[in-house]
Amino acid sequence: MTVVERLCAPTRDVLLARGSSGPRDHDIVSARLASQLAARLTDSLGADRRRHRLDAFAAELGPARFDAPFAWSARAARRPIGSSVAHDVAEGAMPDALSAAASEIERLCDRAQRGLTRRGALGGWLADAPRAARALCAVEASTWAERLLRLVEPTHDGSIAVGIADAWFDVPGTTITLQGRLDAALRPAAGAHLGLLRVRDGLPGARAADGLVVDALVAALAGRCPTRMVGAWPDAGLCLVVDFDDDAARRAARLLLACADALAAPSAAPSPLEAMAA
């Protein structure tokens, strides 16, 4: 598994061409690999009835140990809202990102007020938040969306889809869910190979390519198998492109298994929450 290309401030056409090329002559993620992965994950964590979510962050950094429970904030809300915003603006449904963000927040609040959201959902938090917090969320989300839109510059020819759903795969018979983070799909023409793109903050780390193949594997398991996976770090103006081939799929599976094993193994050092409880 190798990084095919490292692109500095690529234009839309370069991103589209590099992100969706690459050979593909058979199904990369065979049914055998998928079933072996599921069996090994079940061996590692099948007896554990807590819910586990494995993703590219866990593959790159090890199973995350958070010192505080998740809470919504403008920072946490910017991608879910920003994704819808990017989609609406790209589709021409809204004139600009800021208006689209305000409209999406209003829609989420409305759903929450009508009791259509589950407990802890973003809409509930927004509905209860002060006016200033909602306005801040709109700005954060529109800034996030603008970043994605400037990167891929979607047109109406359907070659680039933004604001797509993440890939999710529930391992049968366990409480393990795999998540592949996806922000755009690149397909220059009907029938052409599919490239997938995801955006992250900051700089690509030393194991950035590992995270990319994990996202690609989960996308493949969820039925959207890419030929290439593109990681974009707009803060750095960098994109990494990796081929998703047999080797990459096997490496991604091994990384997920290593995460599961690490979660299953008793930790030497307790997390801050565990330490507080003790």
Work out whether 120 is an interface residue with another protein (CB under 8 A).
no
Site string for another protein, 194-233 (x = CB under 8 A): -------xxx-----------------------------x
Beta strand pairing call for 3-8 and 52-54: unpaired
148 vs 260, beta carbon nearer another protein: 148
Three-state DSSP class for residue 197: strand
Give the ranges where 70-176 is alpha helix by DSSP (H).
Answer: 74-90, 97-113, 122-128, 131-152
73-112: contacts with another protein (CB under 8 A): 73-76, 95-99, 102
Residue 136 sits in the site that holds another protein (CB under 8 A): yes
Tokens of 82: 């920003």
Residue 9 binds to another protein (criterion: CB under 8 A): yes
Least distance from C-beta 180 to another protein, angstroms?
A: 24
Per-residue b/e over 180-201, b at no fewer than 16 CB within 10 Å? bbbbbbbbbeeeebbbbbbbbe
Rounded CA-CA distance 254/268 in Å is 23
Rule CB under 8 A: is residue 238 a binding residue for another protein? yes
| Under rule CB under 8 A, residue 60 binds another protein | no
- Residue 147 in the binding site for another protein (CB under 8 A): yes
Residue 181: partners with Cβ closer than 8 Å, 6 or more residues away: 55, 56, 166, 198, 215
Tell me how far, at minimum, the Cβ of 97 lies from another protein, in Å: 7
Out of 121, 236, 257, 258, name the contact with another protein by CB under 8 A.
236
Look at residue 263 and give its three-state secondary structure. helix
The answer to whether 121 contacts another protein (rule: CB under 8 A) is no
